[in-house]
Amino acid sequence: MGTLPRVARAALHRWEEPCISGTRGSGTVFFSGCPLGCVYCQNYALSHDGQGREVSVERLSGIFRQLEEQGAHNVNLVNPTHFVPAIRRALLLRRPGVPVVYNSSGYERVRTLRAMEGLVDVYLPDFKYADADAARVYSDAEDYPQVALAAIQEMCRQTGLPRYDANGLMTRGTLVRHLILPGLTGASMRALNLLRERLPAGTPVSLMGQYTPCGEAAKYPGMNRRITRREYARVRAHMLAIGLTEGYVQDLSAADEAYIPAFDGTGL
């Protein structure tokens, strides 16, 4: 990636958590490229192949305005990490009148996040792995667990516990996502244990069961299938048992490629 943002889609998106999508949709800007190399990435054309169009800082600011004018509940920056300097400038040109959501893999430097302090209202990070081996094999990032934990702790420091408006939309806070991978329910439980131990009590967690084999998943034993209802139920029971009762669980019908938007330049 270069220094200017590369964007593949900017449109209302209705498939985030209810407190993000609401009734009108989240104003989602999908950026190309990624700091991680996840072999199963649902947005493989963006993260690995760099599909998208380069835009100026001024145009990016205009895209934020357009989404707001379309009725978006928020401006949702999907995978913004590697374009933070340009995104920061775009937000400083004009601060949106709706919350800004920073939607990322969790693989962040703390100093990067501090550059966004005061400009981000809601952090929506993944916490993918508690195990270095899985992080290395599936995302080419052996240090993911410690890096992501430090980053999410910084996000929680910046936002505090979640705040919601009268319609249940999150206006400030950090909501952590965890995606269950097939055959790795034990690893998911360990990840949830870390979140319970290291994050402020009351931090909401979204337990995701939408894994769909994409990218190069078929090359890795056991990864070429969706998770089962039994796997999801097992991890969900553990999450509740350890006291992670704030957040969301997911209908497994969301595990379908139909929920992946078209990265066709819409909104650019």
Token pair for residue 93?
């040109």
Asked if 209 and 167 count as a contact pair (C-beta separation under 8 A), the reply is: no
Closest by Cα among 255, 246, 201 to 226: 255
- Whole-angstrom Cα distance, residue 138 to residue 220? 9
Q: Is 177 exposed, middle or buried (0-12, 13-18, 19+ CB in 10 A)?
A: buried
Annotated binding site for [4Fe-4S] cluster: which residue ranges? 34, 38, 41
Look at residue 38 in the predicted model and tell me its pLDDT. 96
26-31, strands of its sheet edge to edge:
53-54, 6-13, 26-31, 75-78, 100-104, 122-125, 170-174, 163-164
Q: Whole-angstrom distance between the N-terminal and C-terminal Cα of the chain?
A: 18
Please report the sign of the dihedral spanned by the C-alpha atoms of residue 248, residue 250, residue 255, residue 259.
Answer: negative
Helix (H) / strand (E) element for 62: namely: helix 57-69
Annotated binding site: which residue ranges? 34, 38, 41
- Whole-angstrom Cα distance, residue 164 to residue 170? 4
Please report the sign of the dihedral spanned by the C-alpha atoms of residue 65, residue 67, residue 72, residue 74.
Answer: negative
Residues of the chain with pLDDT below 70 are 253-259
Look at residue 252 in the predicted model and tell me its pLDDT. 75
> Does residue 185 come out as left (phi exceeding 0), alpha (psi in the -120 to 50 range) or beta?
alpha
Task: Describe the crossing of helices 185-198 and 229-241 by its angle, rounded to 10 degrees.
Answer: 20
- Whole-angstrom Cα distance, residue 256 to residue 212? 6
Look at residue 255 in the predicted model and tell me its pLDDT. 56
Chain-centre distance for alpha carbon 41:
12
Helix (H, G, I), strand (E, B) or coil at 183: coil
Three-point CA angle 123, 258, 53, nearest 5°: 60
- Please give the backbone phi and psi of residue 60, each rounded to the nearest 5 degrees, phi first: -60, -45
Q: What share of the chain is helix, strand, coil (3-state, %, to 5)?
A: 35, 20, 45
Residue type, 223: M
